[in-house]
Amino acid sequence: MTLVDTIRRVPSVVEKVIGEREALTKAMFDYLGDRINTIDEIVLVGSGTSNTCSLTSQEFVEKASGLRTQVVLPNPFLNKSVYNPNALYIFTSQSGTSTLTQEAQIKMKNAGYATVALSESHDSPLAKESGTHVLMETDNEEYGCRTIGYCLSAFTQMIIAMEIGRKRGVLHDTDYDAYLKQASAAAAHHAQLCDETLTWFDRNKWKLMNKDSFIMYGAGSLYGVAVEGALKALEIAKRYICIGYEMDDGMHGPTMGFTNRHAVIILNDGRNVNIANGLAKYVKNEVSDAFVIGQNTLDDRDLAFDPVGGPFEFLEYAPVLEILAYRLAVDYGVEVLPWGEGGPLPEGKYFNTHDEE
């Protein structure tokens, strides 16, 4: 089994969540009761991949739920002076052991506010401390870099938003059903794109490997994918400095620092098309190697496809960057191992801010 095998399991887990969506959220609605009618905001709190998944889901969560939605890292969240007593606070941690996420949740719970934990076990510390818990189906993910965890964190947040929107009467059955079909279509395309990404990497192998850093761009939900992709390239390949930018924000200064040692990855779904196309042409023609992923591709360095998942298109773009990180590692001889087989272990093998029981 390799990390790619794990990534390939995402579609089946997505379909499992679709099938179990009402059961997964039942305890949350039992806990909220009539409070569901007075909630006026959703606040998503988490660190690392639990933050990038929230950046990915935020736009859809707001649209589907009909509630103002914000994403806050635990540290600035804990240092806020004013909190909304009518918000629904959703705390995400795949393992349920992130220290500051737990502190933030306890603070809100003690204040009497509505708190929901999202983790991979009902027995996690985060789950036990929360007002209620929604199970994140991660299929017993074997690798610490959390590829299933990223996709299913974002997807479960989106499912929660759909169920909330439906309960509040702002998401009609026609749109609800259409979203489920788009999610299934994105999951099916995810499987196809795993194969296409491996072929794309082999076609561009030496261009991709002969770099010092990767700079990734995306807009909307793909901003979260870009930030998560940069994290994956850094933690898995262990050879590159990597950063993810929001498409427009990444135009304001960073482009002046590009050299031929940088690879620029542009996640293009047709949003901010002039900016994305201009960036691709500038880098390709004037500076270095740019790789357009998705739409509006320019040459054989790019990976062309039309996303079919609508708001769930992150499921189509995420495997491209995850497999890129994996191949950069193994083709350089960097071992990518599961937990318990030499992979990263919490107990002193690497620095983290997770408490393990």
Residue reference for tokens 């007002």: 131
| Contact between residue 54 and residue 157 where contact means Cβ atoms under 8 Å apart | yes
Q: Is residue 191, in this structure, part of any structural domain at all?
A: no
pTM (two decimals): 0.95
Q: Is residue 53, in this structure, part of any structural domain at all?
A: yes
Q: Is the pLDDT of residue 337 over 90?
A: no
Do both 167 and 54 map to the same domain?
yes
Do both 250 and 159 map to the same domain?
no
Do both 15 and 161 map to the same domain?
yes
How far apart are the C-alpha atoms of 291 and 135, rounded to whole Å?
36
Do both 20 and 165 map to the same domain?
yes
Do both 144 and 271 map to the same domain?
no
Q: How much is the pLDDT for 348?
A: 46
For residue 106, give its domain range: 3-171
57-94 per-residue burial string, b: 16 or more CB within 10 A, e: under 16: bbbbbbbbbbbebbbbbbeebeeeeeebeebbbbbbbb
Per-residue pLDDT reduced to its tens digit, 76-110 = 999 999 999 999 999 999 999 999 999 999 999 99
Q: Is the pLDDT of residue 242 over 80?
A: yes
Q: What is the DSSP letter of 85?
A: T
Q: Is residue 214, in this structure, part of any structural domain at all?
A: yes
Do both 249 and 126 map to the same domain?
no
Residues of the chain above pLDDT 90, percent: 91
Do both 94 and 222 map to the same domain?
no
How far apart are the C-alpha atoms of 10 and 150, rounded to whole Å?
10
Q: Is residue 240, in this structure, part of any structural domain at all?
A: yes
Do both 309 and 253 map to the same domain?
yes
Q: What is the token pair recorded at 48?
A: 């690392």
Do both 157 and 23 map to the same domain?
yes
Q: Is residue 57, in this structure, part of any structural domain at all?
A: yes
What is the domain-level CATH number for residue 207?
3.40.50.10490
**87: three-class secondary structure by DSSP:** strand
Q: How much is the pLDDT for 351?
A: 58
Cα–chain-centroid distance for residue 29? 25
Q: Is residue 299, in this structure, part of any structural domain at all?
A: yes
Q: How much is the pLDDT for 139?
A: 83
The CA distances from residue 20 to 13, 14, 63, 187, 277, in Å, are 10, 10, 22, 16, 40
> What average pLDDT does the structure give for the chain?
94
Nearest residue to 117 via CA among 139, 132, 136: 132
Do both 160 and 225 map to the same domain?
no
The CA distances from residue 192 to 11, 249, 266, 301, 342, in Å, are 10, 31, 20, 19, 30
Per-residue pLDDT reduced to its tens digit, 135-165 = 999 888 898 899 999 999 999 999 999 999 9
Q: Is the pLDDT of residue 357 over 70?
A: no
Do both 244 and 322 map to the same domain?
yes
Residue reference for tokens 């360095």: 301
Nearest residue to 105 via CA among 62, 347, 119: 119
| Contact between residue 99 and residue 353 where contact means Cβ atoms under 8 Å apart | yes
Do both 211 and 165 map to the same domain?
no
Q: Is residue 352, in this structure, part of any structural domain at all?
A: no
Contact residues for 172 (Cβ-Cβ < 8 A; gap 6+): none
Of 211-215, 264-268, 269-273, 351-355, where does mean pLDDT reach its minimum? Answer: 351-355
Structural domain total, the chain: 2
Q: Is residue 353, in this structure, part of any structural domain at all?
A: no
| Contact between residue 68 and residue 88 where contact means Cβ atoms under 8 Å apart | no
